[in-house]
């Protein structure tokens, strides 16, 4: 991409602000600050301005999805636990006007049964899961490629 960087929201749901200290055997040792830094670095390399946000509040996440839809802003989203039950978030994601890629650090299908269902997946452009923080890198690369097509 040439010229100005294309704005992208990287949205993170509950408990992701605790990366690095929360179950490092599942979520890795990279801190949330490290995730923010990596998304910003790779985003810039790909011609994207990655604005990384985290919330434990479902309503706030829904408002961010509305903001993205209203501005045709692409989204990389790790809904965290909201993945499995937030129909309000699913409905907000369905209003997308730009690509939306669902991301998970762990592989939900290799974990507890309740994690095997995503209400977001059916309205996402695609899903990347199971590659640790690398899932975000893969999602940003896929997003950049989709935006360039």
| Annotated catalytic residue, options 27, 66, 87, 116 | 27
Cα 58 from Cα 62, distance rounded (Å) = 6
Q: Is 106 annotated as a binding residue?
A: yes
| Annotated catalytic residue, options 32, 87, 104, 109 | 104
Q: Is 78 annotated as a binding residue?
A: yes
Q: Is 56 annotated as a binding residue?
A: no
Asked whether 99 and 125 are in contact (CB, 8 A), the reply is yes
Q: Is 62 annotated as a binding residue?
A: no
104 given a catalytic annotation: yes
Asked whether 81 and 17 are in contact (CB, 8 A), the reply is no
Q: Is 115 annotated as a binding residue?
A: yes
66 given a catalytic annotation: no
List own/partner pairs for 68-71 with CB under 8 A and 24 or more apart: 68/9, 68/96, 68/97, 68/98, 68/100, 69/95, 69/96, 69/97, 70/97, 71/7
Q: Is 105 annotated as a binding residue?
A: yes
Point out the annotated binding site for substrate: 78, 84, 91, 105-106, 115
Any idea which residues carry the catalytic annotation? 27, 104
């Amino acid at each position: 991409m040439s010229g100005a960087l294309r704005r992208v929201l990287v949205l993170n749901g509950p408990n992701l602000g605790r990366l690095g200290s929360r179950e490092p055997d599942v979520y890795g040792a990279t801190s949330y600050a490290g995730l923010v830094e990596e998304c910003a670095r790779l985003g810039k390399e790909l011609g994207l301005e990655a604005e990384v946000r985290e919330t434990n509040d479902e309503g706030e996440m829904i408002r961010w999805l509305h903001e993205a839809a209203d501005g045709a802003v692409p989204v990389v989203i790790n809904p965290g636990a909201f993945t499995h039950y937030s129909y309000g978030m699913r409905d907000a994601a369905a209003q997308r006007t730009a690509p939306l890629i669902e991301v998970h650090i762990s592989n939900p299908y290799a974990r507890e049964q309740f994690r095997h269902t995503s209400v977001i997946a059916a309205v996402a452009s695609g899903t990347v899961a199971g590659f640790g923080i690398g899932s975000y890198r893969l999602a940003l690369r896929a997003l950049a490629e989709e935006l360039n097509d």
